[in-house]
Amino acid sequence: MRFKNKVAVVLGASAEGGTGWSIAEAFAAEGAKVVVGARRIEPLRVLADKIGGLAVACDGGVPEQIEAMAAKAREAYGPIDVAVNSAARPILGTIAEASLKGIQKSLDVNYIGHIFFIRYMAAVMKDGGAITIISSSSSTQPVLTFYPYACAKAATESLIRYAALEFGPRGIRVNSVVPGPIDTPLAGGMFDAPEVQAAFRREIPLGRVAQPSDIAEAVVRLAEIGYLTGVNVPVSGGLHLNRVPHEEDIRSARDAQSR
């Protein structure tokens, strides 16, 4: 077990079968004591019971709750070794139409929350630990209506480099994983239609959309690598080499499915 007797914190883990859920399961399978956090406490308790971990209610956009989660993790298990923030709020819109309230909500979770996650988790982390943030390929491969979410993620990817510099003297490595589309329950069955899957496969060199387990595997591996920091690692099956299917491609695929 690669993380036996280590302590891992995973924020954004309440969606069963989702990315954060799978990351928490992966660390537990490797022997870690896992603290899981999210806004929704009831499904989080189901996960914690399953993996023998600790569930903590925490909104990834509220700094005080992130600080409290870090304190509870340390109180329960001592200084932590790994922290992963998978919390996200995919608020959509365009520059012409997005409201200030919507933009701010997106920033609160998808950028500002990461600042305080890094700050507070580093404060309770052993020297030599690892912090990983889940970003998004939309940060560099624009999807028009993803603008508020994608720009917040782009700011986060810059934050990764600054955090790596700041916490490097303690041996704390700070990186992000940059996934493309992931087939999760939150995707709402988007990839159920064969034509939609085909539209993505044409752009993904490995020929399939990611599963949550693909991202979890990358996060666990990244936490092991002792001389890698300040990088935003694409885990997209090679989608970063091409382009995300345009919205008209998806509409055409759905129309073809319905005929």
252: enclosing H helix or E strand: helix 247-258
The pLDDT tens digits for 166-204 are 999 999 999 999 999 898 776 656 666 777 778 888 899
Looking at residue 144, its pLDDT comes to 83
Whether the pLDDT of residue 257 is over 60: the answer is: no
The pLDDT tens digits for 18-52 are 999 999 999 999 999 999 999 999 999 999 999 99
Looking at residue 145, its pLDDT comes to 86
Q: How many CB atoms lie within 10 A of CB 27?
A: 29
For the chain, give me the number of helices (H) and strands (E)? 9, 7
Query: Helix, strand, or coil here: 9?
Result: strand
Q: Is 199 part of any domain?
A: no
Contact 35, 102 (CB under 8 A): no
Q: How many CB atoms lie within 10 A of CB 156?
A: 26
Higher pLDDT, 194 or 78: 78
Q: Is 33 part of any domain?
A: yes
The CATH number covering residue 169 comes to 3.40.50.720
Distance CA 85, CA 221 (A): 15
C-alpha 127: how far from its chain's center? 23
77 catalytic per annotation: no
Candidates 120, 149, 162, 227; catalytic one: 149
Q: Is 190 part of any domain?
A: no
Pairing mode, if any, of strands 232-235 and 54-57?
unpaired
Residue 44's Cβ-count burial label (10 Å; 0-12, 13-18, 19+) is buried
Looking at residue 163, its pLDDT comes to 98
Query: Helix, strand, or coil here: 33?
Result: strand
Q: Is 197 part of any domain?
A: no
* In the block, residue with structure tokens 């491609």: 249
Contact 247, 94 (CB under 8 A): no
Distance CA 230, CA 168 (A): 9
Whether the pLDDT of residue 254 is over 90: the answer is: no
The pLDDT tens digits for 123-166 are 999 999 999 999 999 899 988 888 999 999 999 999 999 999 99
Average pLDDT over residues 197-217: 91
State the pTM of this model. Answer: 0.93
Which amino acid, one-letter code, is at 113? Answer: G
Distance CA 165, CA 178 (A): 20
Q: Is 206 part of any domain?
A: no
Average pLDDT over residues 60-85: 98
* In the block, residue with structure tokens 């500002």: 112
Query: Helix, strand, or coil here: 19?
Result: helix
- Residues near 231 by Cβ (< 8 Å), separated by ≥ 6? 160, 175, 176
Which amino acid, one-letter code, is at 204? Answer: I
Q: Is 203 part of any domain?
A: no
How many structural domains comprise the chain? 1
Q: Is 248 part of any domain?
A: no
Q: Outline where DSSP puts E strands in 17-124.
A: 33-38, 54-57, 80-85
Q: How many CB atoms lie within 10 A of CB 165?
A: 12
Whether the pLDDT of residue 213 is over 90: the answer is: yes
Higher pLDDT, 202 or 113: 113
Q: Is 173 part of any domain?
A: yes
Q: Where are the alpha helices (DSSP H) in 176-240?
A: 194-201, 212-224
Task: State the residue range of the domain holding 163.
Answer: 7-185+211-239
pLDDT band at 96 (very low <50, low <70, confident <90, very high): very high
